[in-house]
Every structure is written in structure tokens, then in C-alpha cells.
């Protein structure tokens, strides 16, 4: 699984293994690690894709896939308050809530809004 843009919102063990380039056993080991943000639904072990990618960003020498052509487009650079790019083969993991990115007010003003239940 090399197309990270098409990953589902949550990953099972097989999808996690493919996304991170690790074995299925390694994915289950991660999913069963106490500090890994695992979601248990019945017997299923799942993880939010954003959390899995955050873990990947923190692993030294791991595959850098976030820096792709879309990241180099001005619309994406200007949409976020912070611009993360690899330096010397590494990303600096932000010390911010969530995945460490916020959309700019200017970009949000151009987005379509949907009100649910209001």
C-alpha cells in the first residue's frame, strides 16, 4: 500500500503493516503496545490513520512519504499555518496538539461549509 492519500480513516493490522512497511506480526505488536492509540471494537484492533502516520514520522530513518508533489504546491503550503518538510532525511515532529497542523483563517474562508443538525 504505497498510496497514502487513499488510506481509510482507520487501519486494521494488515493495512497498518502495509502502510508502515512492517510485518503483520509487527503491526499486531504495535496494536498491542499499551501506549499505542489502539481502538478495540469487539475482537478487532484498529488505529486512526493520522495516529499511525504520526508514529511513523517519529521513527528515525523511516520512509519519508509525506513530502510528495502535492506538498510542494502553493495551495497546500498556504493552507496550513505550519509548513513541515524533511531536513537531512528527517521530519521534526511538532509539539502541538493532534497532528500538529491547523488551517489558516484565509484558507478556511474559501472552504465550503456544511452544517449538520443545526
- The secondary structure of 29-82 as a DSSP string is HHHTSTTS-EEEETTEEEEEHHHHHHHHHHSTT----S-SGGGGSHHHHHHBSS
CA 116/CA 73 separation, integer angstroms: 31
- pTM for the predicted model, two decimal places: 0.47
Query: Is residue 117's pLDDT more than 60?
Result: yes
Summary mean pLDDT of the chain: 79
Question: Considering only CA atoms, which of 56, 47, 37 is closest in space to residue 11?
Answer: 47
For the chain, the helix, strand and coil percentages under 3-state DSSP, each to the nearest 5: 35, 15, 50
Regarding predicted confidence, which is higher, 83 or 56?
A: 83
Who wins on pLDDT, 97 or 25?
A: 25
pLDDT above 70 as % of the chain? 79
Amino acid at each position: 500500500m504505497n498510496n497514502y492519500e487513499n488510506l481509510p480513516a482507520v487501519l486494521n493490522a494488515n493495512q497498518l503493516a502495509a502502510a508502515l512497511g512492517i510485518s503483520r506480526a509487527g503491526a499486531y505488536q504495535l496494536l498491542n503496545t499499551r501506549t499505542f492509540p489502539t481502538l478495540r471494537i469487539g475482537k478487532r484492533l484498529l488505529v486512526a490513520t493520522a495516529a499511525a502516520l504520526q508514529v511513523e514520522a517519529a521513527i528515525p530513518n523511516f520512509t519519508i512519504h509525506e513530502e510528495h508533489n502535492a506538498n510542494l504546491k502553493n495551495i497546500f503550503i498556504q493552507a496550513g499555518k505550519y509548513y513541515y518538510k524533511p531536513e537531512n532525511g528527517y521530519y521534526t515532529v511538532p509539539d502541538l496538539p493532534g497532528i500538529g497542523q491547523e488551517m489558516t483563517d484565509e484558507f478556511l474562508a474559501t472552504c465550503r461549509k456544511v452544517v449538520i443538525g443545526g
